[in-house]
């Protein structure tokens, strides 16, 4: 009988101790892929279901070197060109009010650079912070608009990482 009481007590203590341990933290899946290369090139990207990508990137460390790119390899965004054509992109962050900016369009990508006095990149980064979803409508001017959607959960941490790695200051 003593052995049975001792066994039940040990089992009860073990079970009570196990029940009080916190469960392992569930980490939300962050869709961003971070990359870093020799020479200072670094950044992060997310992919949409159709293979399009939203990229935050720095080609070389320095002030105003971070830029954002939307790559849509299966879509034609502009006529083939060596210099970008300024066209509007409409953004909707987490279902909020749409905002429109002008980015430079190439045949299969659009870009907003931090080097220019234009604040399009800064406003995009500000909208992206803390957002979990962004919908984009790219006005190609050569055909149908291109609609894209990206899961951007964890964007605040990614933005900070890219700007820190680039030795740049995040836009206010």
pLDDT digits (tens, 9 = 90+) for 25-63: 344 567 999 999 887 789 999 999 999 999 999 998 889
Other CB atoms within 10 Å distance of the CB of residue 150: 24
Name the nearest CA neighbour of 36 among 169, 171, 149, 161.
161
Judge whether residue 7 has pLDDT over 80. no
Q: Are 38 and 50 in contact (CB under 8 A)?
A: no
Name the DSSP class of 40. G
Q: Return the beta strands (E) in 59-98 as ranges.
A: 66-71, 85-93
Q: What is the pTM of this model?
A: 0.79
Whether residue 3 has pLDDT greater than 70: no
User: Angle at CA 43, nearest 5°, toward 40 and 46?
Assistant: 160
Query: Is the separation of the CB atoms in 159 and 128 below 8 Å?
Result: yes
CA distance 86 to 106: 9
Burial of residue 54 (CB within 10 Å: 0-12, 13-18, 19+) is buried
Q: What number does CATH give the domain 33-165?
A: 2.60.40
């Amino acid at each position: 009988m003593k052995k049975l009481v001792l066994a039940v007590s040990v089992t009860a203590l073990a079970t009570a101790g196990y029940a009080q341990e916190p469960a392992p933290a569930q980490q939300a899946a962050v869709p961003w892929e971070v990359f870093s290369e020799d020479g200072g090139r670094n950044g992060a990207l997310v992919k949409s279901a159709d293979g399009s990508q939203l990229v935050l990137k720095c080609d070389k460390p320095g002030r105003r070197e971070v830029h954002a790119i939307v790559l849509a390899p299966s879509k034609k965004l502009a006529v083939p060109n060596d210099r970008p054509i300024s066209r509007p992109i409409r953004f909707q962050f987490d279902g909020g009010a749409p905002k429109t900016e002008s980015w430079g369009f190439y045949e299969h990508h659009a870009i907003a650079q931090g080097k220019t006095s234009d604040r399009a990149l800064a406003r995009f980064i500000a909208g992206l912070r803390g957002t979990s979803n962004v919908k984009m409508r790219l006005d190609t001017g050569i055909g149908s608009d291109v609609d894209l959607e990206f899961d951007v959960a964890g964007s605040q941490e990614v933005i900070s990482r890219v700007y820190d790695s680039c030795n740049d200051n995040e836009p206010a």
